[in-house]
Structure 1
Amino acid sequence: MDIDRLQTRQADTKGARPSSADDGHVKSPSEIERTAMKQQRLIYSIAMVLGIVVFAIDVMVPVNVAVAVLYVVVVLMVASVASQLLTVAAAWTCVSLTIIGFLLAPGDQIAPASLARCVVSVIAIITVSALALRNQSSKATLQKQVDLLNLTHDAIVGYDLEGRITFWSQGAQRLYGWHEPEVLGKDIHELTKTDSTLPISELVKGALESSGWKGELTRKARDGRSVVVSSRWNVSRDKWGQPVAILSTDSDVTQAKSLESELRRQKEELASIVDAIPAMVWSASDAGRLFYRNQRWSDFGVDVGDDGAEWRDILHPDDFDAFEIEWRNALMTGESFEISARVQLTSGEYRYMIIGAAPLRDADGRILRWYGVNTDIEERRRAELALEKSRAELAHVTRITMLGELAASIAHEVTQPLAAIVTAGEAGLRWLNREVPDLDEVRFGIEQITHDARRATEIIRQIRSMAKRRDPDAVVLDLNEVVEQSVGLVRRELQSHSIEVSQSYATTLPVCGDRVQLQQVIINLLMNAIQAMSNVASSERRLEMRSSRIPSSILSVATEAVDLVAFKSKAFPRSLKQRKMFPFAQIR
């Protein structure tokens, strides 16, 4: 659309639109419409009076000039405010009045001069009417185009090279708050206090050189609020190529910029929150490629390359294979995963970390990316190792203390096979000192000595195992055998306290555990039972030991859990029988 035509149309319609009063008051649309109607009626009245005067002069005053030519003024006046239909009616009326005036005028109507004046007047009226109708059609077309421009929400402003406003759309009125009569002829940049990163003069110069410009500007509206607009300038040129005006199209992006600023602030805040998390936060693509790492990676001193082998570069070689299996399985199944591995720092030190990740899915369930966290557990692991070591030390001290309490029983258990060895040895000597040595008896005695020596050796080995400081060693054991060995170590204590022992064992009870720890548990239970029956009459002191299988659904460290020791005596209240294996449950 030619901007010159828009400016011309704006100037043409300016006269029909009352300007603001000196006090700045702007008339409402209804007031403007009433004023326009008053002006229209006034022009109609003047045109009618002028037509009557011209007709009267043409008929009654004998002059040698074409007075009827003045009807063109009537046509022009009507065309300025009326529709095309009324303009045509006014034109034919004026033609009719010209002919009637020619016929009624005094003189010789057939004279060449009179006839020529009439013909010239009619031709003049018809010609001016045609031009007026053409101008009305052009104005109507241009008005439609202006109305289309007013339909857009963008502010469209036309101004000359000096910045003086020549066109002001309704979008500009809505955006900036000024009405058209208030701004026409004013400098657009001074009116809206245009602010830009570059001086306005440089922007205008650049627009004239490149026939346009686009960018963001900050302007002030009528109510004082700042408006951020995305402005596009188009330069209008005349037929010689010289710039004559600029058409600016401004889109309000204030809210968008505010939302963008708020989104940026929230993004920065979220990044700060993620960086403040005391863990190594990361994210990966749906294929598992790392593309984000928070600040903690640098704080921990973990350096990751961009060669696609990030995990291989930082994980301990002994842990990488297990991690890769878990990570690939998670990528294939889309399930979360967690694994412990050692991560290498730039210093070369390895620290234990828990590496875990979960997928983010879209509405259709497709994985968009993975979010993961590496939590440093090195200090916790060291603490666990120290605690485990302390527990082992405590268990060792407990075993040594228990061995001290069982000193009499242990001495008895060791003395018995030694005494048997001595007895068998002396008997063997006597059988040899006979006149005819009884070699069968000697052989039997030597076999007894060997058996008792092995028995003493086994007892000493068990005592040394319990006294030795060592790490637990889980092996497959026969639990019944462990129970019988434990009973043998405390047999002296049972006899000295006059406790009757009954034993009932399952056929085979293979378990996986540490022999020394199991013996310690069983001996502790036996000693507790002995102490618990200290106030019971000797005739009623009975201890029943029973082993049996229980359902595998409640197994812990063993392949089958076993009821190790059961007490059956009046010293063991029924209310505590169900809590005999609970921590801190006691009856003393």
Structure 2
Amino acid sequence: MVAGYGASPESRRRNELRFGALAFLLGLTVFAVDTFTDIESAIAVLYVLVLMLAANALPRAGIVRVGAGCAVLAVLSFLLSHWHDMDVQSALRCGVSLAAILITTALLVRDHLSRALLVRANGALARSEKRYRSMFEQARFSLWEQDFSGVKDALDALRAAGVTDLAAHAQANPGWARGMASLIVTTNVNDATLELLGAADRAEVLGPLERFLPAEDPAMLDALLAIHEGRDRFEGRARLIAADGRVLTVLLGISLPDDGIGFDQVVVGVVDITQRERTQEALLAAQAELARAARAATLGALSASIAHELNQPLGAIVLNAQACLRWLRRDPPDIDTASKAVERMVRDSKRAGEIVQRTRGMLVKDANCDEIIDLPQLVEEAAQLLERELSAGGATLATDFADGVPPVRASRVGLQQVLINLIANGLHAMAETGAEKGAEKGAEMGAGTAQRELTVSVDSPDPAQVRVSVRDRGTGIAEEHRARLFDPFFTTRPDGMGMGLAICRSTVESCGGTLTARNHEEGGAVFEFTIPAAAPPPSPVPSPVPSPTAAPLPAAQED
């Protein structure tokens, strides 16, 4: 270490005195040899050694003063030695010595400045590292330092091999993303991480990350995509397995190097939202139960209202039927009076039908089917509303939109509710048939994702219609249930009311469409509805411009 940088004050002072004394003695020796000896050489060049010794003990101003002093001594020695016999050679030797002294002084001053800047930069870096370590340790949220260099090398190797679509590569190679997790090594964590994972010490957490990740977590693939695409940050929701086996839901924030290097020290921030998710789930469950109770209460009130309103026309129909029978059984039958009774029966039957139709309109909220709707966009909106249910069920939603699908004229709220009901029914169908067990068993075989996939496709079989299909991967529709599938109050779920599909069909039919269900040849059920495409606005017909030479029609032809 250079004297004056990084040493204690006492040690620095001793070094300054030692180097200063050596420089002074060496300067006197050079002056004496150069002045009082007959050596025909540039002895004054040795003042460079004096400057180098002084540079270890003096600041920049001191170096400049020593350099000036050495130059003065060199000139003085030249004058004392060659005052009477001064020649060109001796003058040149003196000039060379002065040039060496000046150049050395300039270089030492520049070097001193560079060393000072370097020391200040190292000090700032050390202080920054100390602040970072302090924040890292004292943060009340989980922080991880991880080595991603193995992952970066593996991704670079894939890129060199011609792999550009990482998602397709992961789908074609089940377990690949899980294997990449074993290349991520945790090098340091803070105390909040130990508390989060329930670990006793850091040694229990450090090492490969794979043991803390569930087998099927899409966050790993998303993080790999972020690295592969060269992004400088990744944020997302993931799951972790704590040391005691608890499954935690967390928010991840990963700061990625934007220059392609530094992947050996990546900082990962983790925020535990498990309790918040549980609270949200409890709230949603309570809301669902409340909505179910409200529907049941509404249905009870509606049933009472229907019974009250239908009681009068049905009673009148019965009385008129009995009267008709009496008039027909007379001898001879009174056909005219019986006919009037039948007419009254028809009238009362129409009244009952109007009551039922009005009630049906209440069930579908009198959908106003005059909105122009882009069905692919509506499917995307419904998928966003069901994102939580899809995540909770471990399912994925795939969409297949044909090109050039025309818009439809319908009720946006009504069709959105139809889509939500059909997708939710598909999720329940896969859950009730043990799709999750099948997915866990098939994860080793790469079949888990396909068993939990819902597919929503939108196409136009002809220009006048748009078709929407929702396919699940459950066991399909039982043959004995197919005929009653859309009947009100029919359900195969113990907690269902059996009104969802009935209302869906009423909503679709109120907009001029049809809703059907069938089993897919590869397994699962397909619910499909068609809606008439919105008719394009009529093109304005240009008014005929009469010809200036055209004669008016005769009066007889105007008619």
Same-fold status (TM-score > 0.5): no
Give the structure-1-normalised TM-score.
Answer: 0.34
More relative contact order, 1 or 2 (CA 8 Å, 6+ apart) = 2
Give the structure-2-normalised TM-score.
Answer: 0.35
